[in-house]
Structure 1
Amino acid sequence: MRKVSGMRTIAIWVAWSGLLWAQSAGRPVRNVTDPGVVTTRQSITPAGVPAVFEGRVYAVDFGRDPSEVWVATASQIMRIDWRENKVLASIPIGGTPGMQSLRFDENSGRALAATVVRGTRAVEFGAFTSGKQTLQASLGKFLAGSIAIAGQVAAIPLTYDNQLALVERDSGKLRGVVKTGVAPFAAVLNRSGTVAWVSNWGGRAAGAGDRAAPTGYDPRADRILVDQRGVANMGTVTRVDVDQLTVTHTLKVNAHPNAMVWDEKAERLYVASSNRDVIDVVDTRTMKTAAAYAVRPFRERVPGIAPTAIVLEPDGKRLWIACGGINAVVAMNTRTGGIEGMIPTAWYPNSLALSGDGKRLAIGALLGAGSGWRDAPSKRFVHAYRGAVNVVDLPDEAHLASLTTAVGENNHLALAGTGGPPARVDTKRAPAAVPRRSGEPSLIEHVVFIIKENRTYDQVFGDLKKGNGDPSLVMFGEDVTPNQHRLAEQFVLLDNFYATGGNSADGHQWITQANENAYAMWPGYAGRSYPFDGSDPLAISEGGFLWDAALSRGKTVRVYGEYAGITRVAQPKRHEYLARWKQGEEFANEWNITAPIAPLNRILARNYPAYTTAIPDVVRARIFLKDVEKWEGEGKMPNLVMVQLPSNHTNGTLAGASTPKAMVADNDMALGQIVEALTHTRFWKKMAIFVVEDDAQNGVDHVDGHRTVALAVSPYTKRGHIDSTFYSHQSILKTIELMLGLPTLSLFDMIATEMRESFTDSADATPYQAVVPEQSLMERNPGVTALRGAALKGARDSARMKWELPDAAPTERLNRILWGSIRGWDVPYPAARQAAFAPLSLDVDDDDR
């Protein structure tokens, strides 16, 4: 096993069997020479014959010959001989593929696919052989779903447009479009092509009087039904008369219906509902839901299985269901819903095909082998993926049993029907800082969870004399971040902590929900939203939020900024706010925030701003500290407090804006002030403070680009300790759950490693004393007239970037601007290092989504 420097406890390697193959341009590989680590603490051991591709894999289908597979990758449609690992055709698509939007047409010998054109974002329908033939140039915008072909027709869900496009299978001539429910994902057709069914991720549009929320900030955004937590809670399937171009029936199914398969002979439609981990069975004769089969392969029942694709064996007796959350394909009995076994897959299986003879599965995996870029280490960076396709012979009973055992081991979970009852909570056990089980006595009554933005470990802590840092990569060292340095040295240094999310749209999902659902993973929100802030209920996982878990156990909660939307403030106002802060202003009534998630407003600090880099974090700290004074005076503090401090995201070298170092220093000073105040309260003796970045995409690290800054501060923290245990976002959530006696949110926090090694049961309540950074908070970027060369280009590029949303600036370009402005424009940008793992994130494939 390859060892990664600084990692002491890792048992989550990506494993690939088979011979090593030399990788040449356009050719997939059988194996990867540098398998990585998955932050979800799952092992990846795919069965079958693998092919690893550059970029994500979005769809797969068998060709006419059983040895041929068609694959939709991030930028091309490929036809491969999977037995020989030979590329038979590789056709650029000029954009990105849709979701499962590829089907092989037996009649014509062509692959038919819906793709999204780079630049225009138009959905087009094309045929692929040795080249591309555009059949229909503009069907809709932004995104297409899983297409179907039968008879003389092709059915194409237009996810953004809430429509089903029906086109002539051979010519591509548009027959017409039919309005569906919200965010249609998949279509299926009967054999004659006269009837279609469509699954609708968002269900029906909400009506007057419904509990509902919009799917984005656009005033015209679709409104969908939500539950009391703000989570989307309805899906629908729509029946369409293809000849008449009309909807005949709409049926309610479980939330987030995506892939479907229709057993026309048995009059049963099987619908995978990814957020509920359910297969709905629709009786297409009576037009009613006949059953809902739970996809529960493990003894523990928690959200996160995520069924994403589905096929039916020819005799109709067994379904094969790709489950992205557990990296497996599940075999299910169609009559009973019983699970008959599982096959391990590559990372996040999202597409399935059954060979014409019914003997093999082709399994496409969105993330595949994890991060990397072909086999050249110099090209490795964390926003590149190696999607995969594995072709697997359908196993006999004995082989399936052994594969099933492997899936259980990979997920660190006992299989359903095995083992005894779960361990009982011992309420008489002596109190502990990190109890063994949720609900056992705890030494901690108050948790403060502080969320920051986008820094790697080496950017900040590379200059520490202890721990696994690289001083050559430091950008915001002790002169800029003295409080973070002191906290790491005085409490515990976490030098092996990773952000599970790769950008804000998924990082904030993991931080608040310990999960990321399929809608966010694909992503399915193209054109609708950027759901880092709760603005799209379709992106919220079924398990809900950490604050929901706390409230369900009778805990008190206060949220400051997190998931509270966006506070729209012009960037030049930042300097005004800094001047007013310096003069001592309290900003008590400056803002009145309303969160997109309605229930959150009951526990939201309404006068604390939501996300924006135009408001300094020291202003946020001043608002927060007034509440700390109030708690101290009243003798009551919430059990769970969540605080967002986003200024360290920076604004690049935008002329006249605060410099990157000034913004990071602002963030550090605010953090220091908050920790100092909390540690001087009466609540400190029973408190734990956790600090983490939502992601670490805006920097370089010598271990991995997603290794990040995390802090654990408590009287029960092991003082001066270095904890090199492998941790990630879910580790913090699991530790909080144990401390406060909260329920598990998903299978990912269930299997995460809690931060027990960072704590002791003996208290040292010495308070923390904040320090002022040497770096001035008032420093500004120079104007463009004072700049030349690369610095001028960096300022001009920064002026074109959008700063009101996180990650709207191109990551790679921003990182180089930050490096040049801090380390020097003549200092070479660090070569991309070998990644230890690839967290779930958007990647370079998503630039055009």
Structure 2
Amino acid sequence: MKKWNSIVAFAVGSTVMFSVPTFAYVGLSNTRDINAPIHVHTANQDRVTHVLPTGRIVSPVGLVNGAPNFVTAVVPVGHYVAAMANGATRAQTITLYKQKTLEQVAEIAAYKKGAPKEAPLPTDATNLRDNVIGHQSFFQGMAVGPDHTIYVAGGGGSDVAAFTVQDGNLKLLRRYPLAWQPFPKAQYPYTYQGHHIGKPRLFYPDSIAVGHRGRHLYVTGMLSNSLARINLQTGKTDYLNVGPYPFAVTFADGGKKLVVSLWGGNAVAVVDPETMRLLGTVRVGPPTGPNNTQAGVHPTALAAVPHSPYVFVALANIDRVAEIDSADLRVKGFINDSPYPDAPPGSYPDGLTITEGNLFVANAGNNDVAVYNDQTGKNLGLIPTGWYPTAITHAHHALYIVAAKGLGSGPNVEHQWVGNMMDGLVQRVRLQHLMFHLPAWTQESLQNDGFTPAQQETRHTEDVKTDAFLRKHIHYVVFILRENKTFDEDFGDDQTAGAWADPHLDLYGSQELPNLYHLAHHNTLFVNFMADGEVTAQGHQWTTSASDSDFVQRTWPEYYSGRGLVANPGWTQSLVPGGATGTGGVPLGVDNPYAIYENLSALGKWSNPWISFPARLFLFNDLLSHQVSFEDFGEFVSRSQAGNISKAMDQHLATGFPGWDRMILDTYREKMAVNWLKAHPGSKFPHFIYIWLPDDHTAGRKSCYYTPDYYVANNDYATAKFIHYLSTTPEWRHMVVFLTEDDAQSGADHINAHRTFALAMGPWVKKGYLETSLYSQVNILKTTEAIFGLPPMSQWDQNAGVFSGIWTNHPDFAPTQVLPMQVPVTFNAGKCDHYTLLRREAGATGHYLTANETAWYKEHQTPNGAGLPAPSKADTYTPTTLLKVPGPEQMKQEWIASKGRKSYARVMAYLKAYSAQKDAPVNAYQAGEKE
């Protein structure tokens, strides 16, 4: 069993700008890891109180203990509770705790491939009984039989694993395989959403209910739109189509009904468990269908009211809890789960339990549990939790809550990946004196999120002053998004940043980034700036919608860890299997970086992103509905369920702008964008411009691709040229340019693993200014909304602060400079197959290879290269594999390519020494390990 990670607060004093401008949380102490139960009380509350990247605070109450990364399920088992974690880790786990004390007792670690002989154990964990199993995955569903057998949904393993508890130990009893089931072509998502190259297709179990006599299991299959019934004695399995993306299943009406929530269907299905017949569906959101353009309501967790046909359904995407009647197949009513009147979405209810006359709702977005009377729906108060609570249960007059991200992140000085370095949290809250504590806990929860009336009024008063300035002087906003860098990775060697920079962790400096340094020194550099998400899948939603949906949060660990799901958040990537692996009659297929905009009538065999959209969609939708002109260079936008982009939206998309293609350089992207803007002067010039320049992601040490140094230098030069052009336009006099990264996953940072950088540039921005207030990507959107008078998209941007300290009354309208690249064109070493060389030559001019390029091929092929064999599958580039390389591996490849192995060894030695100095533990399952 692992020893849980320490969660370290910001090492440098930070003003919490999101909600409490009148005071600061300064230098919360570096905490030890939570590897033993803690009874939280006044004297030790700071031990579990932490600031999140958004500036919100978590301060769980009751009894808490650590859990593995991204824990998503919890169930009582006799005198124990079992918690499941399915993070983007090598091993996914079931951990057993004593109910009364939360002492960790045992753990099963499941590896999707072969298992090691034993799981790593800390020296002080000799009393823990650990076990490992191979060829197994877990995914968010657990149930317990009458004999205390624990049944676990196997996700990418397409099975149910059964475990027994013997003398406090977990033992694997049996696995029940489940087969993929076809579903109607007219049923969302219209086509299989698992890896098409994998065989066989996956049922993808994600929830389980045990029959009342313990003879059957009822299991939902997310990729099959199906419910399975398993006879536990014979293993015989029956299947029933229930609808899109079944999420949870529970019994109701005295066991006469099964209710299944449909994550992708705005409905719940009601099934007769004896006959396995679909009795009907109950609509809990607007109608869906191929032409629907609204986001889904996301029916997720279920809680049946005892001795009745009623079932509560969490609608995670719209902050509502529906109550349905499973006998009459109707909606009985809705509970508004918003934290304050007229709040936009953001609570994200996704865990439910009923006990002692109350309904308890785990709100993943607001880091609390809301308490309601289960008869009247009256809101009784809030219970503070850890970050992103995902599940809740009850036993013996206590609640048990699990939070996927625990207490948040600190410095990733141990070479951890921000994607899986955050330990989860298990929390026990006694119900005996709940009503006595609720008033204080409710106030604490609201204060943590910045939701109290006093906080909102203070923030509004401050923002009004800045809003007036912005609307007078700023009429154009440009948002430049790049890829994956921490602050220290790019600015560690910047002496002007002082203690905010650690030169030991600097990978790219003034040699590769002369323009970034120049722009930072002559404009405003945000040194305490956080990425709100951990990885690309989240980052591109945070930068366009001020949130990421529950679907993205719950599924990205599955496809980042290679557990069978197709990447599905609708990122900036080809929507067909492009790169060099498709089909089309050319060597290794069509290579089309523009496919994200082509064939809009349907998305074909691959990702259908509708289910991933947040409730209020994206900034582009707000701009469109409020008639603010804009142009989108490279970012995804909302689509209908069938994959169509509306004609109104399509008019604002630069469809000639290439998507993810490592052979097309940012200098081409910059040229394409500038040419478009030159063709749209005056009134045609858009008031909002969003451009994606991804070259600083690099291709690592991939043979025949450009070196990381050159990719970064090219990105730097392209960025500077684009900004320079903007500074020569008439619109520059009333323009601001924001530049940041989508996430901070590819390097180390001595302050926080979520820390990246941002720049604000323009005539009305302070020059040579370091902004040290705590801000995040959401604040860019909040400031943009303030400039254009747009409404908030979520609770995050509604309660974020407008950038206030970076503006000047003495504008400088001079054009920006462009410094030349100091890195020559260089390529990674290794054998280059002929097709890769063709792609590289084509990409240098923004060209791409299609099935109808016979003349081009003949012109560019050579007799010596024509007969070369295709590269091996392991060496074949695809649009997403390089996006999903874990951060430590990205850092390793880039560091060795840029500075050599000796330098990489030195920086790793420094990180270990730094870790020892801070008394930080080592992750047992460290990201980046080879499988």
Aligned to 2:14: 8
For 2:492 and 2:175, the matched residues in 1 are separated by: 54
- Output aligned runs, 1:329-408, within 5 Å: 329-355=369-395, 357=396, 359-371=397-409, 378=414, 380-382=416-418, 383-394=420-431, 395-408=433-446
Within the candidate set 148, 151, 158, 1:112 is matched to: 151
2:618 touches 2:638 (CA, 8 Å); kept in 1?
Answer: no
- Deviations along 1:430-460, whole A, 9 cap, x unmatched? xx7x4169xx843211001111111122222
For 2:437 and 2:159, the matched residues in 1 are separated by: 42
Matched, 1:454 2:484: yes
Closer/same/farther in 2, CA of residues 675 and 180 from structure 1, 3 Å limit? same
Within the candidate set 294, 298, 309, 2:351 is matched to: 309
Secondary structure class of the residue paired with 2:555: coil
Aligned to 2:669: 620
Matched, 1:146 2:207: yes
Aligned to 1:39: 53
Aligned to 2:21: none
- More displaced 10-residue stretch of structure 1: 33-42 or 153-162: 33-42
Aligned to 2:159: 123
Secondary structure class of the residue paired with 2:805: helix
For 1:85 and 1:540, the matched residues in 2 are separated by: 37
Matched, 1:70 2:82: yes
For 2:28 and 2:462, the matched residues in 1 are separated by: 38
- Deviations along 1:534-588, whole A, 9 cap, x unmatched? 751111111221122222322111111111699xxxxxxxxxxxxxxxxxxxxxx
Closer/same/farther in 2, CA of residues 848 and 812 from structure 1, 3 Å limit? closer
Aligned to 2:798: 750
Within the candidate set 876, 897, 909, 1:821 is matched to: 897
- More displaced 10-residue stretch of structure 1: 733-742 or 108-117: 108-117
- Output aligned runs, 1:146-185, within 5 Å: 146-151=207-212, 152-168=215-231, 170-171=232-233, 173-185=235-247
Matched, 1:81 2:87: no
Secondary structure class of the residue paired with 2:901: coil
Within the candidate set 265, 270, 274, 1:243 is matched to: 274
- Deviations along 1:720-741, whole A, 9 cap, x unmatched? 1111111111111111111221
* Letter of the 2:176 counterpart: Q
Secondary structure class of the residue paired with 1:404: helix
Within the candidate set 827, 847, 856, 1:780 is matched to: 827
Closer/same/farther in 2, CA of residues 76 and 139 from structure 1, 3 Å limit? farther
Aligned to 1:553: 626
2:551 touches 2:611 (CA, 8 Å); kept in 1?
Answer: yes
Within the candidate set 61, 75, 78, 2:75 is matched to: 61
Shift of residue 242, structure 1, vs aligned partner: 1.9
2:409 touches 2:754 (CA, 8 Å); kept in 1?
Answer: no
- More displaced 10-residue stretch of structure 1: 55-64 or 528-537: 528-537
Closer/same/farther in 2, CA of residues 306 and 544 from structure 1, 3 Å limit? same
Secondary structure class of the residue paired with 1:512: helix
For 2:59 and 2:48, the matched residues in 1 are separated by: 14
How many residues end up aligned between the 2 structures?
751
Closer/same/farther in 2, CA of residues 655 and 806 from structure 1, 3 Å limit? closer
Aligned to 1:799: 875
1:20 touches 1:29 (CA, 8 Å); kept in 2?
Answer: no
Shift of residue 595, structure 1, vs aligned partner: 8.0
Aligned to 1:695: 743
- Deviations along 1:462-505, whole A, 9 cap, x unmatched? 22220122223222211211111111001112211121121110
Within the candidate set 761, 766, 777, 1:713 is matched to: 761
* Letter of the 1:812 counterpart: P
Aligned to 2:715: 667
1:299 touches 1:414 (CA, 8 Å); kept in 2?
Answer: no
For 1:40 and 1:448, the matched residues in 2 are separated by: 22
2:304 touches 2:311 (CA, 8 Å); kept in 1?
Answer: yes
Closer/same/farther in 2, CA of residues 149 and 15 from structure 1, 3 Å limit? farther
- Deviations along 1:577-603, whole A, 9 cap, x unmatched? xxxxxxxxxxxxxxxxx9868764231
Alignment RMSD: 3.6
Shift of residue 809, structure 1, vs aligned partner: 2.8
Aligned to 2:532: 500
Shift of residue 846, structure 1, vs aligned partner: 12
Percent sequence identity is 25
Shift of residue 252, structure 1, vs aligned partner: 1.1
For 1:811 and 1:420, the matched residues in 2 are separated by: 37
- More displaced 10-residue stretch of structure 1: 253-262 or 285-294: 285-294
- Deviations along 1:721-774, whole A, 9 cap, x unmatched? 111111111111111111221111111112223321222233221220212111
Shift of residue 705, structure 1, vs aligned partner: 3.2
Shift of residue 94, structure 1, vs aligned partner: 3.5
Q: Which runs of 5+ in 2 are unaligned?
A: 1-6, 17-23, 41-45, 87-91, 113-135, 181-201, 286-296, 560-564, 573-607, 833-870
Closer/same/farther in 2, CA of residues 436 and 244 from structure 1, 3 Å limit? farther
For 1:653 and 1:318, the matched residues in 2 are separated by: 56
Matched, 1:469 2:506: no
Closer/same/farther in 2, CA of residues 245 and 640 from structure 1, 3 Å limit? same
For 1:21 and 1:769, the matched residues in 2 are separated by: 47
For 1:372 and 1:722, the matched residues in 2 are separated by: 22
Aligned to 2:260: 198
1:14 touches 1:35 (CA, 8 Å); kept in 2?
Answer: no
1:275 touches 1:542 (CA, 8 Å); kept in 2?
Answer: yes
2:338 touches 2:345 (CA, 8 Å); kept in 1?
Answer: no
Aligned to 2:835: none
TM-score scaled by structure 1?
Answer: 0.81
* Letter of the 1:268 counterpart: Y
Secondary structure class of the residue paired with 2:819: coil
Within the candidate set 507, 519, 522, 1:490 is matched to: 522
TM-score scaled by structure 2?
Answer: 0.75
1:114 touches 1:124 (CA, 8 Å); kept in 2?
Answer: yes
Matched, 1:537 2:569: no
Secondary structure class of the residue paired with 1:763: coil
- Deviations along 1:25-67, whole A, 9 cap, x unmatched? xx777799797531122111111100112322121112223xx
Closer/same/farther in 2, CA of residues 177 and 13 from structure 1, 3 Å limit? farther
- More displaced 10-residue stretch of structure 1: 491-500 or 328-337: 328-337
* Letter of the 1:627 counterpart: W
- Output aligned runs, 1:199-214, within 5 Å: 199-203=261-265
- Deviations along 1:206-253, whole A, 9 cap, x unmatched? xxxxxxxxxxxxxxxxxxxxxxxxxxxxx1111112222221101211
2:410 touches 2:752 (CA, 8 Å); kept in 1?
Answer: no
Q: Which runs of 5+ in 1 are unaligned?
A: 204-234, 567-593, 786-794
1:72 touches 1:97 (CA, 8 Å); kept in 2?
Answer: no
Closer/same/farther in 2, CA of residues 354 and 98 from structure 1, 3 Å limit? same
Secondary structure class of the residue paired with 2:756: coil
Closer/same/farther in 2, CA of residues 172 and 398 from structure 1, 3 Å limit? farther
Aligned to 1:232: none
Closer/same/farther in 2, CA of residues 15 and 333 from structure 1, 3 Å limit? farther
